[in-house]
Amino acid sequence: MNRIETVREYIDAVLLNIPSAAKRRSGYLHLYGVSQACALIAMKRNENIELATIAGMLHDIYYYSTLDANDHAQKGAIMAREILTSLQCFTGDEINMICTAIYHHSNKGDRFSPFDEVLIDADVMQHCLYNPLFDVAEHEKQRYEKLQLEFGLA
Ligand SMILES: [Fe+2]
């Protein structure tokens, strides 16, 4: 099994445990949607596709494990570190890369390392493409416009 599928098994088990069907649905859409957007953006920017895909799957793991959104990025980075360490197939450097990106992902207004930026932009892309007819959230407008330019859509 490749490492993306190893992490997916873990995520699937967490999502299946969510009692509310609506929250479960949002978890599948959002975590796997962000994960696919991470793959796309990482391909475009020559960043690590495998680790970006995994960061996308794990980025809101704290929220979908606890349904508590408070400090979910920081708490999620700690939780992701525990999960990735327990899976025993990632190096310390790989775990640091993924968890640093998760830690920063809620700060849409700041700029971070190119790898961290993949996850932040993927989060915006999933929110905006879930229903392209909905209004774009104010705090995501600037990043969404840049993404449209980057992908030749504007
Ligand atoms: Fe998210």
Expressed as residue numbers, the domain containing 83 is 3-150
Q: Which residue has the higher pLDDT, 73 or 109?
A: 73
**Ligand 1 mean position, distance from CA 59 (Å):** 6
**Ligand 1 mean position, distance from CA 30 (Å):** 7
pLDDT of 108:
85
pLDDT at 1 over 80: no
Alpha-carbon distance values, 128 to 25, 99, 105 (Å): 17, 24, 16
Q: Which residues of 17-47 are buried (b: 16+ CB within 10 A; e: fewer)?
A: ebeeeeeeebbeebbbbbbebbbbbbeeeeb
Question: Mean of the pLDDT values across residues 46-62?
Answer: 98
Residue for token pair 């949607």: 33
Question: Mean of the pLDDT values across residues 119-148?
Answer: 96
pTM of the shown model? 0.96
**Ligand 1 mean position, distance from CA 67 (Å):** 13
- CATH number at 136 reads 1.10.3210.10
pLDDT digits (tens, 9 = 90+) for 78-94: 999 999 999 999 999 99
**Ligand 1 mean position, distance from CA 153 (Å):** 23
pLDDT digits (tens, 9 = 90+) for 95-110: 999 999 999 999 988 8
Mean pLDDT of the chain: 96
**Ligand 1 mean position, distance from CA 145 (Å):** 18
pLDDT of 154:
81
**Ligand 1 mean position, distance from CA 105 (Å):** 8
**Ligand 1 mean position, distance from CA 123 (Å):** 5
**Ligand 1 mean position, distance from CA 32 (Å):** 10
**Ligand 1 mean position, distance from CA 60 (Å):** 5
**Ligand 1 mean position, distance from CA 61 (Å):** 9
H/E stretch holding 38? helix 21-45
pLDDT > 70 fraction of the chain, expressed in percent and rounded: 100
Into how many domains does the chain fold? 1
